[in-house]
Structure 1
């Protein structure tokens, strides 16, 4: 069953003529790239954003739609607090409704151990002024009264929000164009033009753009592109299946993760549903290259994913995907315009069954649509946000590990400042590129589910070797 609104067959909205030169070129039209373009344009620059397929065609429109401060890595949290403020500002000032709603988000505990993990995180919330709080079992029942089950409690953040991903990101791209950015869809960046050891331009399928600064925000494609230029990041991707229901009565206006299932109310009256604690992973060449780096994560959660032998043809880590190509050749990015994995039909049925078991008062619930996305993740479950010292002019913002949609406006603002030489306003040392090569001990951050959050708070370690 398909249903994601943005695919390779979706109409091209942005077809601007490519200039011969640009102050900054951004590679990748997800929320990170879009917001970087927006904030650069706000500074009076005219950045060029290149998207090989469609704006928000991949994970930026396929996620849960949570705008979440709760459970963030401590280094991400102040950035997310800023992003929360920027989201509200964008909604208030923009001509388009982003689907942003002040609703609150909830992590439901399945055990006393979960509760202890949530309690251990709360001091970080208090330090950054976030209103996360613990709920008793009775308070959880009052918050979500139709849910059938027994839970010891929950963590709830009233100031967290939700938005409609495939509505919000294209709307923000239009705002970036109005501010002065140039966006070109269906135009892949093939190679960086490196001269004298630094960035001199970008070779695209439509010609070369001269520039001294490039931001790579390519999501699941970042590693493939960067490695072609000798920049290696241990990045892998997992498939997550999402189901959208037909309209049903409002049983919770916000979003909640019950572990086996996560849900979010949608503006169309239905719910977006997903598994909260499991994903599918296709084993490819990168998995072997990054195995040591990911060992702490695998050790902490060995059964949090289902392993599959080979990715579909054309995917970034498929066995047949080219690792080397020239600037005058068709690149892997043109061969797969939009990373559009089929949803797991088995999981679609399981997700609907779990939702109906959780809320039996709804009766039979039908799926309006189902889709899947590839979540790019890093070994320590926090992104790379840095300038590349070995290649002046190159900056990276990738590996959001399932956290990118909500925090996107914050990192977009940061990247705009990094590129222009201004202070980013936050400590970015946790996200530095060199942590994978300087012998640093990696610390697992909160990840894609409450199980991983618990494990991350209990587990530390694993030097990358």
Structure 2
């Protein structure tokens, strides 16, 4: 299996852009692609512009889990729909995207982990999931060649897919359905006329559209702020590695407090630190520090602070916060966020993997990469119309949950854009929750 971070890239989508569209989608990650797909199926004239390449950033760099287990209660109904959509998409697009329904297992290192698992079970029962607690003996039977855990939480219906295969395949399906997709085409700004959206200005020229979806991942807040929309979104670095092919010790997806692993189609495992993430500071991080304080307190042991966001990144000190739409923008100066992996983290993960599975030993690494996860203060996204700028819909801040739930939120956003009822309660995801005096709600802790 090849990985998109280790070789040259050739654009699949470089055709001409129309002068006008019904809807313009900014961002070629899973959310933007799936929104575009569902709009195109309905016959909507939709254009997707991506500054770099489809799924070039976190949408292809994630763990690949399609997970209901452990979701925020407000996300859970949308995720259940997303899992059903994944199965339909696997059949509809005619490509093997690596979808395998082999379960997700959370493993308990301590008694408090089991308490967290128990506390989430009522949400699973409410929605009819097959989630169940596992005893120490049941975990040992499921992972007979592994070290000992105190128990686990198991959802057999959960799944996985290969993100660097799936998202480009879904983009091709959207193009076949009639969408216009253009890579290497940054949107520099939104064209505003008489206080509402009238289109966008891209590096290739203007496109008229009275509806715009901002699904720019880690870059969304930078563009939103130019238009007076305060989106308290930041990014954290997450590191992943692919091992060389190894004997199978577990077919599904698993994680404890120290590391996570899943089987891949090529016979290796994707491995990653279980909870550790790295937080780079910049102007926006300082500005929004108060909103993030509850999350930082809860995750203080797993958060690693880095002094300065690297040059060119969304929250770097030198990244412009204002620019002329007729000139080069920050989005063109950094086509793809490609942070180096933290090899010290991976060295620890390899050691833990080898200690956990002595028969396999410390695994060799075929490839390693990192991605920037766009997060919100309460770890759930913003999916909402922007009241102060009619015609703009924001769908961002997936907080590391975006790949699996992508088809569900794509369908929801498509409905929002068309003025249809989304079929789910989206109040948890409203933009105004950060300014209307609401308390930051971190949801369940697993």
Q: Give the TM-score range, shorter chain.
A: over 0.9
Q: Which residue of 2 aligns with 1:105?
A: 104
Q: How does 1:172-321 map to 2 (within 5 A)?
A: 172-321=170-319
1:257-300 CA-partner distances (Å, limit 9, x unpaired): 02100001100100000001111111111111110100111121
Helix, strand or coil: the match of 1:244?
Answer: strand
Going from structure 1 to structure 2, the CA distance change for 1:400 and 1:85 (only over 3 Å counts) comes to same
In the superposition, the TM-score normalised over structure 2's length comes to 0.98
Provide the rounded CA distance (Å) in 2 between the counterparts of 1:445 and 1:410.
20
Helix, strand or coil: the match of 1:241?
Answer: strand
Going from structure 1 to structure 2, the CA distance change for 1:6 and 1:209 (only over 3 Å counts) comes to farther
How far apart are 1:348 and its partner, in Å? 2.1
Q: Which residue of 2 aligns with 1:59?
A: 58
Q: Which residue of 2 aligns with 1:460?
A: none
Provide the rounded CA distance (Å) in 2 between the counterparts of 1:81 and 1:295.
31
Provide the rounded CA distance (Å) in 2 between the counterparts of 1:245 and 1:8.
18
Q: Which residue of 2 aligns with 1:16?
A: 15
Q: Which residue of 2 aligns with 1:158?
A: 156
Provide the rounded CA distance (Å) in 2 between the counterparts of 1:242 and 1:51.
24
Q: Which residue of 1 aligns with 2:345?
A: 347
How far apart are 1:9 and its partner, in Å? 4.3
Going from structure 1 to structure 2, the CA distance change for 1:281 and 1:183 (only over 3 Å counts) comes to same
Q: Are 2:350 and 1:367 equivalent residues in the alignment?
A: no
Q: Which residue of 2 aligns with 1:68?
A: 67
Q: Which residue of 2 aligns with 1:442?
A: 440
Q: Which residue of 2 aligns with 1:88?
A: 87
In the superposition, the TM-score normalised over structure 1's length comes to 0.94
Helix, strand or coil: the match of 2:359?
Answer: helix
Unaligned runs of 5+ in 1: 447-452, 455-465
Provide the rounded CA distance (Å) in 1 between the counterparts of 2:245 and 2:412.
38
Helix, strand or coil: the match of 1:338?
Answer: coil
Provide the rounded CA distance (Å) in 1 between the counterparts of 2:261 and 2:313.
28
The RMSD of aligned alpha carbons is 1.1
Runs of 4+ in 1 over 2 A off after TM superposition: 6-9
Provide the rounded CA distance (Å) in 1 between the counterparts of 2:102 and 2:122.
23
Alignment coverage as a number of residue pairs = 445
Going from structure 1 to structure 2, the CA distance change for 1:104 and 1:376 (only over 3 Å counts) comes to same
Q: Which residue of 2 aligns with 1:337?
A: 335
Helix, strand or coil: the match of 1:400?
Answer: coil
User: Could you tell me whether the CA contact under 8 Å between 2:215 and 2:396 is conserved in 1?
Assistant: yes
